[in-house]
Amino acid sequence: MKAIVVTDQTAGTTGMTLTDHRKPEAAGNDVLVEIHASGFTPGELSWSSTWTDRLGRDRTPSVPGHELAGVVTALGYGTTGLAVGQRVFGLTDWTRDGTLAQYAAVEARNLAPLPGDIDFTVGASLPISGLTAWQGLFEHGRLQPGQSVLVHGAAGGVGSMAAQLARDAGAYVIGTGRTTDRHTALDFGAMEFVDLGHDSPDDIGTVDLVFDTIGGDIGKRSAKLVRAGGTLVSIAGPPEARLTDALAIDFVVVSDRAQLTELAQRVRDGRLRTRIGKVATLDDAVAALNPTERVRGKTIIRVRP
Ligand SMILES: NC(=O)c1ccc[n+]([C@@H]2O[C@H](COP(=O)([O-])OP(=O)(O)OC[C@H]3O[C@@H](n4cnc5c(N)ncnc54)[C@H](OP(=O)(O)O)[C@@H]3O)[C@@H](O)[C@H]2O)c1
């Protein structure tokens, strides 16, 4: 099958090559998916899981990309819950070959049915940012209707999903970002915007939840914005801030069929949008993932036209 592979950890996205790669087989509890659309996150090339398996053994050449939307073509031994011919989407295992390929073998529990009225391109853009936003807000942040949330990086992939989901859940949403992010952040659900280059977040008072997608100094400065009993959730590494009366949590997103289904339902209802910046074919994927000009929004590789 055709796939993008990486072999050189130091090369970044420029080390991606389109090649002929062995077609995967569905192991126990897996499904084999014919991929229609794939999502890739540049950060994954710095994760050890891209280069080694769970026992630390070299697994190159490895196929990057961990978001997919496609159609099930085979079931592994013992696989239940999905059927051959079913449209699916979801997040694949970090330590196995991924989705910049014509096929991927995935544990069935990591996928959910993709309703017929959601395009594969949209389906592949949802899993990482949607699940991360959902888990940060509702699992780790325990956000309740009527509470306030400060979303750092509210114009970004995760932040724009978090702003929409939080607002839809009845929270008061304050977004932050760069001056140029104001319009996008407000368009994607933030009710107020704090320009981190010019405004001081200290002026907004305290909130029930800070959702930090930026980290570093911005994360550190967020500690005093969390009210007593509130939570600071970070997806940009462990919070360096010390909180006395509040929780500080960092986490890595996991796939979850029920949450994927909730996200898909919101897309169908028009309550959730993803920000897709560029769509390219698998043949053009290496160039698309090494853009010469900045792409705002996610790049999706349309593996099958
Ligand atoms: N833990 C997990 O499970 C998990 C899951 C998904 C993502 N992540 C990580 O979370 C981070 C965010 O992911 P994403 O996909 O949302 O990225 P993204 O689309 O690049 O969004 C980040 C947003 O924050 C803005 N930003 C960054 N630094 C800023 C600063 N100093 N001041 C003001 N605005 C700033 C960015 O603006 P510019 O684009 O202009 O810089 C962008 O709008 C990444 O580091 C990613 O690797 C972690």
Condensed to tens digits (0 to 9), the pLDDT of residues 49-83 reads: 999 999 999 999 999 999 999 999 999 999 999 99
Verify whether ligand 1 is closer than 6 Å to residue 175 (CB atom). no
Task: Assess whether the C-beta atom of 127 lies below 6 angstroms from ligand 1.
Answer: no
Q: How far is the CA of 281 from the centre of ligand 1 (A)?
A: 25
pLDDT at 148: 98
Does 130 have pLDDT greater than 80? yes
| 2 Cα to the center of ligand 1, angstroms | 30
Query: Average pLDDT in the 130-156 region?
Result: 98
Cβ(155) to ligand 1 under 6 A? Answer: yes
Average pLDDT over residues 249-261: 97
Q: Where are the domains of the chain?
A: 2-126+274-302, 129-250
> How far apart, in whole angstroms, are the C-alpha atoms of residue 59 and residue 62?
6
Q: Where are the alpha helices (DSSP H) in 169-300?
A: 182-187, 216-221, 257-268, 285-288
Mean pLDDT (the chain) is 96
Cβ of 157 closer than 6 Å to ligand 1, yes or no, is yes
CA of 160, closest atom in ligand 1: 16
**Mean pLDDT to the nearest integer, 234-253:** 90
Q: Which architecture does CATH list for 129-250?
A: 3-Layer(aba) Sandwich (3.40)
Check residue 229 and give its pLDDT. 96
Whether residue 237 contacts residue 220, with contact meaning beta carbons closer than 8 Å, is answered with: no
> Within 170-274, where are the H helices?
182-187, 216-221, 257-268
Name the residue with tokens 């694949």.
92
User: Quick check: 163 pLDDT over 80?
Assistant: yes
Q: Please work out whether the CB of residue 214 comes within 6 Å of at least one atom of ligand 1.
A: yes
Name the CATH architecture for the domain at 2-126+274-302.
Alpha-Beta Complex (3.90)
The pLDDT value recorded for residue 241 is 75
For the residues 27-35, what does the mean pLDDT come to?
98
What integer pLDDT is reported at residue 97 of this predicted model?
Answer: 97
Residue 272's pLDDT band (cuts 50, 70, 90) = very high
Which residue's CA is minimally distant from atom 28 of ligand 1? 214
> Is the CB–ligand 1 distance for residue 213 below 6 Å?
yes
pLDDT of residue 201: 80
pLDDT tens string 275-303: 999 999 999 999 999 999 999 999 999 99
Lowest mean pLDDT among 3-7, 33-37, 42-46, 111-115: 42-46
The Cα–Cα gap between 145 and 199 comes to: 27
Q: Is ligand 1 within 6 A of the CB of residue 196?
A: yes
pLDDT of residue 244 exceeding 90, the answer is no
Domains 2-126+274-302 and 129-250 share a fold: no
Q: Which residues contact 236 (CB under 8 A, 6 or more apart)?
A: 212, 213, 214, 215, 216, 219, 250
Lowest mean pLDDT among 91-100, 128-137, 216-225, 251-260: 216-225
